């Protein structure tokens, strides 16, 4: 059985510094697991995600992260697929290649993965 992505990140990448989940399907429970488990995050982008709306708990757990982006994240029932793809492209703005290159630069080092991208 496959491990859920948030548990895989928490278990296998506890020292990750850069994580871009912009536009991902991620619920509040999963986001909280990442925020509680990845204490070395310096950059986390969950903008335009579907499955949670930022609340006080999220903002408090993310307060140690130098750059935390959560604009446009919404609950499943608020999602309108007809307009969402263009919205996420405009919000996230980077190509997959740009994101992979940046993640590689940010996360390499002893005992750290070279790259992680969830799209």
Asked whether residue 86 is assigned to any structural domain, the reply reads yes
Mean pLDDT by 10 residues, the chain (119 residues): 71 87 92 93 94 94 96 81 64 58 50 38
Asked whether residue 17 is assigned to any structural domain, the reply reads yes
The chain-wide mean pLDDT, for the chain, equals 77
Asked whether residue 72 is assigned to any structural domain, the reply reads yes
Which pLDDT does position 63 carry in this prediction?
A: 96
* Total residue count of the chain as it appears in this document: 119
| 70 Cα distance to chain centroid | 9
Range of the domain at 20: 5-105
Asked whether residue 114 is assigned to any structural domain, the reply reads no
Asked whether residue 110 is assigned to any structural domain, the reply reads no
On whether the pTM is more than 0.85, the answer is: no
Alpha helices in the chain (DSSP H): 5-12, 28-37, 56-61, 81-92, 96-107
Structural domain tally of the chain?
1
What distance in Å separates the CA atoms of residue 79 and residue 94, rounded to the nearest whole number? 22
Which pLDDT does position 55 carry in this prediction?
A: 94
Which pLDDT does position 7 carry in this prediction?
A: 77
Backbone angles phi, psi at 38, to 5 degrees: -105, 80
Which pLDDT does position 13 carry in this prediction?
A: 80
Distance set, CA 43 to CA 17, 63, 77, 119 (Å): 6, 11, 28, 16
What distance in Å separates the CA atoms of residue 119 and residue 109, rounded to the nearest whole number? 23
Asked whether residue 119 is assigned to any structural domain, the reply reads no
């Amino acid at each position: 059985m496959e491990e859920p992505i948030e548990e895989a990140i928490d278990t296998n990448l506890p020292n990750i510094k850069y994580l871009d989940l912009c536009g991902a399907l991620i619920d509040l429970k999963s986001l909280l697991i990442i925020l509680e488990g990845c204490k070395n995050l310096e950059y986390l982008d969950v903008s335009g995600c579907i499955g949670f709306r930022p609340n006080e708990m999220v903002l408090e757990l993310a307060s140690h992260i130098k750059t935390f982006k959560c604009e446009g994240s919404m609950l499943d029932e608020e999602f309108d697929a007809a307009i969402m793809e263009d919205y996420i492209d405009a919000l996230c703005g980077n190509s997959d290649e740009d994101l992979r290159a940046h993640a590689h630069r940010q996360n390499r080092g002893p005992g750290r993965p070279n790259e992680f991208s969830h799209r």
